[in-house]
Structure 1
């Protein structure tokens, strides 16, 4: 995998807030991580906790497992991130997100409406921000159809959200996105194991049911600029504040 983002990838990220690099992760890392998660699914998953897993993470004990963290720190992803963010806080855990087949055990898994991570989370105090800078998602299962648990995103939504945060939003509001964003269906991210998603934190996104016959599995890494905790509000209002390598390209 090339160690840096191409000029085209940077331009796409600036415009859309998201890029997908195909076959970015070495297959042996994908196989090892997926085997670990599959063992958890078959032996340890508690179907009565699906709501909690969906809101936070599946396989919570695996988030800091070396074979999961290897998807970030032994795959070249960290080098790609450096093309977007010059100085980052250490990445020490992953969020494992699984969309179960809709018929699995008769379990109803809640959908995730259009939102920006860490803002007015339904399960947290709306005055508490849990934001970050960049989301990196390593795809661990095929996502071949929009209704197969695919993430749906609003292209260019990071710019619209920054404007909303500047002009209308205030800390403590319970709305996660403005109405004109919340009603959009978004574009699906269709991908195969080993593909890598890099998405600006401000890109609004949603996730629906999985109508396929297999679990949809993605390992997400939340990446923060090293000063993010000191400038969370500024980063909501200025989408490029924490993306120093991109700033010369914005003029």
Structure 2
């Protein structure tokens, strides 16, 4: 089912929309089982910081059962509804928030940031941006203390203003102070839920205070022209979203 007009309005206002139960349970089980086995057999405490910066289970990123969460479901079609056209997806990012009780002190909270801009593990002059983040929930996330991703609805507009007026390539600050001080809204959900979030929406990730790992599969989706206009896309939030050009914004007082 394509995005409804209401969902497009919500995305344009908030920079994010959630589709509950989009992924079939069998696809979720296959993907989650792969990650669970890897977690049980391969993960060591010393590796958690590095994986947290990039991806856990890197050898699973191109596994057919992981890629099927995007290409074998309606998620790819929803991305197309927003971007009009999309570059091929060949790998996924697997992010796990490990239980603090099992791995104490090795995975601190991630501060507010925008992916691929001034990353601590990259040269600040290097951009690894994209257009749309598609996140698939692979474990229950019932509270912010589950290691939930926290995002700032409407923050894509704030960030675009900052990139236009106060930011320059090579700066080490990831977000302006007023964004850094916000807590954000926790992404809560069940396995099979899907988050569609604009690349410019600032987000953080909290510590996991439960006994169970929190698992997400992320797909970084780009408009085919994004690579050649990364700087422009930071300043114009709708450059990569031609289908939304004529979708009006809903103000908060109309909710």
Please tell me the TM-score bracket, short chain as reference. over 0.9
Q: CA deviation at 1:76?
A: 1.4
Q: CA deviation at 1:105?
A: 4.0
Match of 2:35 among 37, 41, 47: 37
Normalising by structure 2, report the TM-score.
0.96
Distance (whole Å) between structure 1 residues aligned to residue 147 and residue 52 of structure 2: 12
Distance (whole Å) between structure 1 residues aligned to residue 146 and residue 235 of structure 2: 33
Q: CA deviation at 1:107?
A: 5.1
Summarize the alignment of residues 85-104 of structure 1 with structure 2, pairs less than 5 Å apart: 85-104=83-102
Distance (whole Å) between structure 2 residues aligned to residue 79 and residue 89 of structure 1: 13
Structure 2 counterpart of 1:176: 174
Classify the secondary structure of the residue corresponding to 2:196: strand
Distance (whole Å) between structure 2 residues aligned to residue 214 and residue 48 of structure 1: 19
Q: Is the 8 A contact 2:45 2:106 kept in 1?
A: no
Summarize the alignment of residues 21-170 of structure 1 with structure 2, pairs less than 5 Å apart: 21-106=19-104, 108-170=106-168
Distance (whole Å) between structure 2 residues aligned to residue 110 and residue 60 of structure 1: 21
Normalising by structure 1, report the TM-score.
0.97
Classify the secondary structure of the residue corresponding to 2:216: strand
Aligned pair 1:215/2:213, yes or no? yes
- RMSD (CA atoms): 0.9
Distance (whole Å) between structure 2 residues aligned to residue 105 and residue 205 of structure 1: 23
Superimposed CA distance per residue, residues 160-192 of structure 1 (whole angstroms, 9 cap, x where no aligned partner): 000000011000000000000001111111111
Q: Is the 8 A contact 1:54 1:110 kept in 2?
A: no
Structure 2 CA distance for partners of 1:161 and 1:43, relative to 1, 3 Å: same
Unaligned residue ranges in structure 1 (runs of 5+): none
Structure 2 counterpart of 1:239: 237
Structure 1 counterpart of 2:253: none
